[in-house]
Structure 1
Amino acid sequence: MRKLILSTIILISCITNVFCQAPNADFLHSIGKIYVVVAVIAASFIGIILYLVSLDKKLTKLENQIKK
């Protein structure tokens, strides 16, 4: 029961922390920096996806060599 109460308190504190950070996005948007943040996040995801695709190709090639 104690763990449940502690978990609930931590969850509530995390949720309220998320709501408190909303004005930061408005601030970044007002000075035009939100586009920089979006571009960096998009570039990171694209880089990760390209890395995973190339890794998959290499693994497929190795699997085919092992089968032969």
Structure 2
Amino acid sequence: MKKAFLLILLTCMNFLATFAQSDSGIEMATGLRSSGKIYVVVLVLLVIFVGFIIYLFTIDRRIGRLEKRNKKDD
């Protein structure tokens, strides 16, 4: 119950924070979007994120193998 209340409270605060921001726009994002470079930025971030996820999965598999080997030896 406490977790649900906390989640609802954080969601409401996040929702209210979005209305507190001005609508003036970000000049850098507008410039990147108009020149098409925003797609390069998004692609680079996506490649980094996917690489990080793959790295975490391989580390998890290696640790799993070592745990099985350690349990087998005991």
Q: TM (normalized to structure 2)? A: 0.63
Matched, 1:38 2:42: yes
Q: Which runs of 5+ in 1 are unaligned?
A: 1-19
Provide runs of 4+ in structure 1 moved above 4 Å: none
Segments of structure 2 that go 5 or more residues without pairing to the other structure are 1-23
Count matched residues: 49
**Offset of residue 36 of structure 1:** 0.0
Deviations for 1:24-51, whole angstroms, at most 9, x for unmatched residues? 0110000000000000000000000000
Residues of 1 paired with 2:29 and 2:52: CA distance? 25
Residues in 1 aligned to 2:63 and 2:57: alpha-carbon distance in whole angstroms: 10
Q: Identity over the aligned pairs, expressed in percent?
A: 43
1:54 pairs with one of 47, 55, 58: 58
> What's the C-alpha RMSD, in Å, of the aligned pairs?
1.5
Pick the structure with more helix per residue. 1
Q: TM-score, normalised by structure 1?
A: 0.68
